[in-house]
Amino acid sequence: MQTLPSTRLRAALTRLAPPVALTIALAAGLTGVVTGPAAVTAEAASTPVLSGAYRGSGVPDLVQQFGTWRGRPAGVVTDFVDGSSWEAMENASWVAGKYKGLNLPVALGVPMLPATGGTLQQGATGAFDGHFAALGRSLVANGAEDAILRVGWEMNGTWFRWSAVPDPAAYRNYWIKIVKAMRAVPGQAFRFEWAPQPGAGTKGFDKTLAYPGDAYVDVIGMSLYDQSWGVTSAQHVERWNGMVTMAGGLQWSVDFAAAHGKRNSLPEWGLSKRCDGRGGNDNPYFVAKVSEWVNTHDYLYESYFDKDMGSCEVHKLVTGPFTAAKAEYIKHFGPTHPVYPSPDASVVKVSTKADRSGAVALSGRTVTGKVYVFAQPTFATTKVRFYLDDLMGVRTPLQVEGQAPYDLRGGTATAATAWDVTALPAGPHTMTVVFETSTGTRSVAVAFRR
């Protein structure tokens, strides 16, 4: 049973009033009971894309300044675990501890190996489990028990020591060891993010060979910078279209995530001005398209990489040379950022009868025994995913339905399969429902009680 998400991930957690007994649609012999408040005060909880920035290592003041600059506080902060040595990797106090006062979800890049020493093959045997267990304990101790951990990122390239290209099996097996070691830490609620480089990364490499399996991944990520070696810096539309449609690009990422029941992320993205002319420079079109993309697909979070990699690779937005793009960023990610509507809470129904008759909105209700929960969208839908007590929808779905009627526990056109809620702990719960459509995803979360 999944536990309720931490308060930092309850971006729009619904409020529940004490229920007033109002038994509905009950007949003799039925084992399910649904009650609701006299005036339902539970509201639909949307699952907005968390928006933040990386501004350097352990700099909470700069993250707050970023929020002030754009007129909208950060919703997530990204950073990196120190990979200089095993000892440094075990100690999260310098990074997670510094952000503790912000009370924000923390997304951390986690090296699989330090700067020197160790191999993927050794890690695959469990030789380094202790280091990652220690990291997990340090994260919990420093208030980052629900951190999003981007382990061994960009593994399809060859620029990191944990490259999966020479031995993808060792990478997969080592990843599994890391996840098992960290999930065994008391008090943890970590999310593990698998984040390859866009495209092949290394010519001819199939990055799916490095995927460790659904049981060990919660989020599918991808870094994205406005740069290309295939078009000129002025070809903004062509460059964006290439990012979406290329093999292993953005469309591949959202399709892969959907096929595996995961949410997406852009853990680092940015504008780019380069001395070699490969960057898109001051490109507001790129900013607008990123906003549109993450808000019309199933993204957990996005984080702007507000740091230069040198004078010949410039990404800084706040103080950088991107005048038009800055204005576009504030338009899309600032105080009046576009709101993409979530479905009304009433699309998630509950009935006490297998034929779904007498159904009412699940939102704000109290359920007992065996009930029948289903989604009834008013818009064209290709697939529906149900998540229990997983507001952001990052765990394995409770159920995935590919055709109507979209029943929580499956069923036929005339009879749904019952959901026995007896095993649920008494008290508040959430049901997050993600609707996949031909133009992207829409989601809604409703609160109920058992």
**Which positions are catalytic?**
154, 268
Contacts of 402 (CB under 8 A, 6+ apart): 382, 383
CA dist list (Å): 117 to 101, 112, 180, 277, 390 = 34, 11, 22, 36, 38
DSSP string, 225-240: ESB-SSS-TT-HHHHH
Question: Is the distance from CB of 318 to CB of 69 less than 8 angstroms?
Answer: yes
State both tokens at 156: 């399809």
Instruction: Give the whole-angstrom CA distance, residue 71 versus residue 228.
Output: 31
Question: Is the distance from CB of 296 to CB of 439 less than 8 angstroms?
Answer: yes
User: Of the candidates 327, 308, 405, 395, which has an alpha carbon nearest to the alpha carbon of residue 359?
Assistant: 405
Cα–chain center distance at 206: 23
User: Of the candidates 367, 403, 416, which has an alpha carbon nearest to the alpha carbon of residue 388?
Assistant: 367
At which residue do the structure tokens 């309720």 appear? 4
User: Of the candidates 377, 378, 376, 346, which has an alpha carbon nearest to the alpha carbon of residue 363?
Assistant: 346
Phi-psi region of 343 (alpha: psi -120 to 50; beta: other; left: phi over 0): beta
Instruction: Give the whole-angstrom CA distance, residue 237 versus residue 246.
Output: 14
DSSP string, 79-145: EE---S-HHHHH--TTTHHHHGGGT--EEEEE-SS-SSS--HHHHHTTTTHHHHHHHHHHHHHTT-T
- H or E element in which residue 384 lies: strand 383-388
Q: What is the dihedral of CA 290, 292, 298, 301, to 10 degrees?
A: 50
Phi-psi region of 58 (alpha: psi -120 to 50; beta: other; left: phi over 0): left
When computed from its CA atoms, the radius of gyration of the chain, rounded to whole angstroms, is 23
